[in-house]
Structure 1
């Protein structure tokens, strides 16, 4: 099943989208918003699935689906926790600056709580005041849960995954060092996160969804040039079940919690990277300094994942970096 939210107020208007992302149908009779559906998932899921099946079978005509009209599928969430499940990426970043990777990083996930009061849609611009902030994209996967009780184990955690998607976790690289030096986490360096047009249920991924991982490449293209397409199922040190268990160690999670994988990364892969920071680290290791700049105003980033038949699964994230002029 595939679900999206059309732009409407702060929380969007929930619609069911067909498998090839060409048609949609209102979900109003079941739930007006994605959060409402997640709050009552046991009741809402089979009713939404019935609409989905009828839409795919042509029993419902629906209307043309336009990603440009989409908000983030969950426009705002109660909880957004982003991990760094690909420890090979963290190892590379530390190697580029001559720092050792603590052994505990391979045993205990890195996760921070991000801003979830406003996610943005797949075609919304990346609005930034200054290029000097070091504007970077991060192509990631995310899962969305129902209510998760505190203390769940990794296997139990997987049972609470109801939806999956891809996202662009925009990072302001030149603001990060100053924030981390305060030893209090990210804040200004993590602006709005953009999501693909649709969330999908795990069954839509078929055999590609296995062991709490998505075993498919995630493609990142900047200004028409491929930056990378590493396989999300490779080198994922902590699967989503483990991430959920970690986040829920001391408190339960509310329905609609979004948990990110962190930047997809394959060790020594020729398939490239899913963020410019990693590209720059590889250049630093090889040449002593980076040569690839961060994003500039007017740059266009596209992020997409395809199934084994080459069909888009979640739809495309397609954003342009735009200068923002704050009120003075």
Structure 2
């Protein structure tokens, strides 16, 4: 199932799911049995998700075309072209971003004249980003005024669906609602200055993170599974030009291992977002400005991941 948060004419943000070329308002179609907000849906995911699947199956199994106009009149469904997609979760309860692809870490360190360190292979590490600065698909990114080195980062994020503490890696899947594309925007000059002090990144990262275009529940990714990872091609384009290609299955640490680390002696909550870190070649810092200059106003960045769709943003 592809879960979305959307705005429709005369309606503020609503939770729904995609069905062919339609966006189904889950609260309206269920007559209140399902919630109107994605945050509430995630709070009781184990109860609401099976019910949402029942409504999806019912609609797919019916010859509902003759009822479509009536459903639209009841504001139960909308043509995809008539809604605005927001980030699937507009205000996560937290945002942790890991550093889990070895190629990205190794290449970026080598650009600074540094070797890989033993500690990276011992534990998956993460930083906290700004969970109040989330933007969705096809939104405009306001370029930070202080940067001249704006970068994208091609990542996958998982969204937590159940409260847990000290979760083992082999139990972590029980706590995942699904996955989406993530763009961890970075102001590299600000980041470089901060980390020299021994803290950060902070201002180099906290102006925006893109999530979307939808939250794909983990059952849809089963055809791509390879043990505890997924065979998902990851691509980045700037102004229509393909500049990066990678694959999620090359990640060093699985999401299970990341969740185990994140939940060690602390509690994860429904709506927490966990990013994978950047796939190999998935940013300008790694590729080099001879391949792609730093992003400028008017540039269009598209991140595409098999099964998860395309996350597109324009730089202002």
For the aligned pair, the TM-score class normalised by the smaller chain equals: 0.7 to 0.9
Query: For the Cα contact (< 8 Å) 1:228–1:274, is it kept in 2?
Result: yes
Residue 229 of structure 2 corresponds to residue 228 of structure 1: no
Query: Secondary structure at the residue paired with 1:73?
Result: coil
Q: Is 1:49 matched with 2:53?
A: yes
Match for 1:97 among 112, 132, 135? 112
CA shift at 1:131, angstroms?
7.5
Query: 1:136·1:295 contact (CA, 8 Å) conserved in 2?
Result: yes
Residue aligned with 2:119, SS:
helix
State the match for 2:18 in structure 1. 17
Work out the number of aligned pairs and report it.
298
Task: Provide the residue aligned with 1:299 in structure 2.
Answer: 299
Deviation by residue 1:280-314 (Cα, 9 ceiling, x = unmatched): 1xx7xxxxxx56421011111111123xxxxxx33
Q: How does 1:171-210 map to 2 (within 5 A)?
A: 171-190=186-205, 191-210=207-226
Which of 245, 260, 282 in structure 1 is aligned with 2:260?
Answer: 245
Pairing of 1:1-328 with structure 2 (within 5 A): 1-7=1-7, 12-18=13-19, 20=20, 22-28=21-27, 29=32, 30-58=34-62, 61=68, 62-66=77-81, 69-130=84-145, 132-190=147-205, 191-234=207-250, 236-265=251-280, 273-280=281-288, 292-306=292-306, 313-322=307-316
CA distance in 2, matches of 1:221, 1:27: 33
Q: Which has the higher strand share?
A: 2
1:207 deviates by 2.3
What RMSD in Å do the two structures reach over aligned CA positions? 2.2
**TM-fit CA distance, 1:247:** 0.3
Question: Residue 156 of structure 2: SS of its match in structure 1?
Answer: strand
Quick check: 1:15–1:26 contact (8 Å CA) kept in 2? yes
Deviation of residue 58 (structure 1)? 4.8
Whether contact under 8 Å (1:67, 1:197) holds in the other structure is: no
Please tell me whether the aligned partners of residues 7 and 83 of structure 2 are also in contact (alpha carbons under 8 angstroms).
Answer: no
CA distance in 2, matches of 1:133, 1:81: 25
The 2-side partners of 1:188 and 1:80 are apart by: 15
Q: Secondary structure at the match of 1:219?
A: strand
Q: 2:135 aligns to what SS in structure 1?
A: coil
* Alpha carbons 2:97, 2:129 under 8 Å: kept: yes
Q: CA deviation at 1:151?
A: 1.3
Question: 1:153 and 1:229 mapped to 2: Cα distance?
Answer: 31
Q: Hey, which of these two has a bigger chunk of helix by percent? A: 2
C-alpha distance in 2, partners of 1:12/1:210? 36
Cα pair distance change 1:228/1:131, threshold 3 Å: farther
- Comparing 211-220 with 74-83, greater Cα deviation is found at 211-220
**Counterpart contact for 1:87–1:106, Cα < 8 Å:** no
Deviations 1:125-169 (A, max 9, x none): 111143843111111101111234221111111221111111111
